[in-house]
Structure 1
Amino acid sequence: MKSTATFLTILAAATALSASVNAAELRMSWWGGGSRHEATQAALKICGEKYGHTINPEFTGWKGYLEKLTTQLAGGTEADIMQVNWPWLPLFSFKGDGFADLNSFKDTIDLSQWTDAQLDAATMNGKLNGLPLATTGRVFMFNKTVFDKAGLDLPKDWSELIADAAVIQEKLGEDSYPLEVTEDNPVLIIMLIATQRTGKDMIDPATNRMAWSLEELTDAVKFYGNLVDKNVTRSWKSWASEGNIKLYESPKWSDGKIAGSYEWDSTYFKYADPLEGKGELVPVSMLKVDGAVTEGVYRKPSMVFSISKRSENQKAAAEILNCLLTEKEGIEALGATRGLPASKIAAQTLMDAGVVRPELVSANKIVMAGTGPTVSPFNEHPRIRESFKDAIEMYAYGEFSAEEAADEIIYNVNDILEKYDQ
């Protein structure tokens, strides 16, 4: 009996020593608001205790985070685990070597919880540079109450929507429109139409250049112009004359004068809340043009968790990420502070617990079910988006023809992308 007790004592000591030897001290950085900060710190404490690691949190607001991360990565002082905005991946890791390749930790991280498409979206040059936290996408949302008043069903394709515009103006007034195409939406609608007609994303992954021909992009620009001409949407000039206010802040939206928009599924309640008691906002399947070869869904990771390529404790960091995103304790602690999780088990866990509201789930299902090519992070490169928008604004004000706008966009996009050839 004494020898058994002695053996157990030695075994316990050996186990404790092993845990101590494997323990790591990590740093993790992210941006967000108060609720995200609190939930993430709680999750890190739980996961750290589970695996015997200590994780020091480094959190800020959105403003200044990119500059801070840029400085840290340039100087080699970044945290072991980083929250990274998805469009930044090519800025920091165009060749895939800016972060650790998480494929190396497939025995530690349950990668089966993400679809191949989700992992592909976070892969640079064949290397998995981050784990998608949430998959978001653009979806059409319509105020069903407005369509009911006009005696119309919700549109199922672009032809129906264009025809609905005349009916809505006749029955509800000349200042009523079925769709808002302002802010970034002129760019995104043009991209949607070009993708539906060609089956191609804006950026050709093989050449890292504009994928659409001048004729293809010109036709998509003309489609946007036709929406304005047919009173499907207000003109850019009309929107600007009112101060370029956000749609969800506009009385025209809350009063039902504008009955639809094309927005991120994750922002559903931002647009639904102003309609409370006055309208019912319904997300619908992608509207397609005649002859579309794909729905052209714009689907992307909202952000990713990456591991530093310089971290001396990459395995420990992988254990923490797996806990946060695929294990019950971490999932419940993290909650929905970064949207509906991309991880299947995390999403199901939160839905079963009633943490995620059903309207958001419905909108996300449309995005996830949609067909379309993988979207390049370069689509949201700040200079690319700005130059695209500037050209369309010139077109909207009559300074460019559709072909001139398309030519300007193609030239500027390729010029920006050329810088990444080296």
Structure 2
Amino acid sequence: MKALNRRSFLQTSIAATAALSLGTGAARAEEARLRMAWWGSQDRAKRTLGVAELYKQKMPDVAIVGEAVTGDAYWTKLSTQMAGRNISDIFQLEPGTISDYSRRGATMALDQFIPKPLDVEAFGTKVLDLCKVDGKIQGIGLGLNSFSMFYDTAVFAKAGLPAPTPETTWAQFADLSVELTKAVGKDQFWGAPYGARYASVLDVWLRQRGKALFTEEGPLGFGVEDAKEWYAYWEDLRGRNGTVTADVQTQEQNIIETNPLSRGSSAMGFTYSNQLVGYQAVMPNKLGITMVPSAGGGAPSGHYYRPALIWSIGATSKNGEAAAAFINFFVNDIEAGKILGVERGVPMSPKVREAILPQLNETERASVEYVNYLADKVSAYPPPVPKGSQEFDRNVVRRTSDELAFGNLTLDQAAHQLVEQGNALIQPK
């Protein structure tokens, strides 16, 4: 499938939602009109709209107007809506943003809607707690996922090199990346991305060492020496020509279509397990999935289960109950589950998970099998991330690694900048 640019993607999804919201005629005055917003690929938009259309058939008095916004533009728009007290009735968050936005007053606590119209008790307390912030449920997880590494199986086969496995250590990953670059021998192609840019991968790397991105109280959970070691690893690998160059890596806008793997610039890529479906949809070669490289020596894997994505209800919504009813349908209806598959993660609902398993294609099954494989390798879910975590990822982690890769900062300067700016930005709870 050809990757879409932002304009064509938005035109496609918005045109579809406009037709959906109007149905066969103008919306009646008594209809509950729900605005729904998310980010993601065209495949995600198609599935989301499919469920909304199915719901419209069963609940004709509810009009749903959806909008997909890509990359960082989504968060810019959400901030604008928050300032204008005009947040969508239903909007998408993820584990790294739900605590931040709920504490900024963007979300409506959902406890009031459980068990009716939100019948989610079958998910289990631990699963519901994944979206709990300060004692209140601020969203409903749409599926389970975890950190992962994807790789192009055809590239490995042609190069005659072994694919990475859960036992692959960071040292072995580095050597493999360098060997891949040499074996492929193609201009503007490397074995790996410049992973210093990914806060999620840094989180795994730190947890393998008994640390974490953030402490439970709020400030960073690591120091300058940790940052130096992290940056030294990636700078050494970049120097060995094992990773993409700075100009290639900085083109990534945190969406599938701009990742070095999907753009054909690297043989491997770091992302979340539920995105296997989306990546495979835009890539011609079969993808493999495995864990982020390990520290070896019996160290923790650094992985944990996450709610892949989350539906929250806008704090300013005048249709909270109707929005909760739609979310209930989205996560519990079997036909809806068949439309959604595992693109947003392995379904939280046991009955939906069981119902869709027989219909999953090879890629979708691989996503489920990976999540199941991690069962005895994951650690406990960490506390909600502190306020400022999103800005830390976008404005500190990414920017600092870019400046380092372009040679505008020394390794020592980058390490100090990451920690000092991070601690200045992150607000204790």
Looking at structure 2, the residues matched to 58 and 270 of structure 1 have their Cα atoms a distance apart, in angstroms, of 23
Alignment of 1:287-302 (within 5 A): 287-291=293-297, 293-297=299-303, 300-302=306-308
Partner of 2:330: 324
Q: 1:224 to 1:321 in 2, by over 3 A?
A: same
How far the C-alpha of 1:124 sits from its partner, in A, is: 1.4
Q: State the AA in 1 paired with 2:91.
A: Q
SS in 1 for 2:115: coil
Question: Unpaired runs of 5+ in structure 2?
Answer: 1-29
Partner of 2:270: 262
Q: State the AA in 1 paired with 2:353.
A: A
Alignment of 1:314-393 (within 5 A): 314=320, 317-328=323-334, 330-332=336-338, 338=344, 340-352=346-358, 354=359, 356-367=360-371, 369=374, 370-372=377-379, 373-374=381-382, 376-377=384-385, 381-393=390-402
Partner of 1:126: 135
Q: 1:147 to 1:296 in 2, by over 3 A?
A: same
**2:68 alignment partner, one of 61, 69, 76:** 61
Q: RMSD of aligned C-alpha atoms?
A: 4.0
Partner of 2:406: 397
Question: Unpaired runs of 5+ in structure 1?
Answer: 1-23
Q: State the AA in 1 paired with 2:260.
A: L
Q: 1:162 to 1:77 in 2, by over 3 A?
A: closer
How far the C-alpha of 1:228 sits from its partner, in A, is: 2.2
Q: Does the CA-based 8 Å contact 1:39-1:337 persist in structure 2?
A: no
Partner of 1:233: 243
Q: Does the CA-based 8 Å contact 1:110-1:322 persist in structure 2?
A: yes
How far the C-alpha of 1:408 sits from its partner, in A, is: 0.9
Q: Does the CA-based 8 Å contact 1:82-1:307 persist in structure 2?
A: yes
- Structure 1 residue 147 and structure 2 residue 151: aligned? no
Q: Does the CA-based 8 Å contact 1:210-1:414 persist in structure 2?
A: yes
Q: Does the CA-based 8 Å contact 2:109-2:137 persist in structure 1?
A: yes
Looking at structure 1, the residues matched to 114 and 209 of structure 2 have their Cα atoms a distance apart, in angstroms, of 38
Partner of 2:290: 284
Q: How big is each residue's C-alpha offset from its partner over 1:5-58, in whole Å with a ceiling of 9 and x where there is no partner?
A: xxxxxxxxxxxxxxxxxxx96442213566356424323335537xxxx32323
How far the C-alpha of 1:133 sits from its partner, in A, is: 1.8
Q: Percent identity?
A: 18
Q: State the AA in 2 paired with 1:247.
A: P
Partner of 1:303: 309
- Structure 1 residue 35 and structure 2 residue 46: aligned? yes
SS in 1 for 2:92: strand
SS in 2 for 1:261: strand
How far the C-alpha of 1:78 sits from its partner, in A, is: 4.8
How far the C-alpha of 1:213 sits from its partner, in A, is: 2.1
Partner of 2:227: 217
Q: How big is each residue's C-alpha offset from its partner over 1:215-271, in whole Å with a ceiling of 9 and x where there is no partner?
A: 2222222222232244432342576699x96425645x5xxxx43222333333554
Partner of 1:415: 424
Q: State the AA in 1 paired with 2:130.
A: A
Q: How big is each residue's C-alpha offset from its partner over 1:178-208, in whole Å with a ceiling of 9 and x where there is no partner?
A: 732248745444333222222x331212x11
Q: How big is each residue's C-alpha offset from its partner over 1:82-129, in whole Å with a ceiling of 9 and x where there is no partner?
A: 12322443443217x653333344433343444655433322112110
How far the C-alpha of 1:316 sits from its partner, in A, is: 5.3
How many residues are treated as equivalent by the alignment? 379
Which structure has the larger Rg? 1
Partner of 1:208: 218
Looking at structure 2, the residues matched to 241 and 111 of structure 1 have their Cα atoms a distance apart, in angstroms, of 40
Q: State the AA in 1 paired with 2:90.
A: M
How far the C-alpha of 1:211 sits from its partner, in A, is: 0.9
Looking at structure 1, the residues matched to 262 and 326 of structure 2 have their Cα atoms a distance apart, in angstroms, of 40
The TM-score with structure 1 as length reference comes to 0.73
Q: 1:282 to 1:126 in 2, by over 3 A?
A: same
Looking at structure 2, the residues matched to 271 and 211 of structure 1 have their Cα atoms a distance apart, in angstroms, of 32
Looking at structure 2, the residues matched to 306 and 240 of structure 1 have their Cα atoms a distance apart, in angstroms, of 30
Q: State the AA in 2 paired with 1:208.
A: G
Q: Could you tell which deviates more after superposition, 213-222 or 323-332? A: 323-332
The TM-score with structure 2 as length reference comes to 0.72
Partner of 1:181: 193
Q: Could you tell which deviates more after superposition, 171-180 or 399-408? A: 171-180
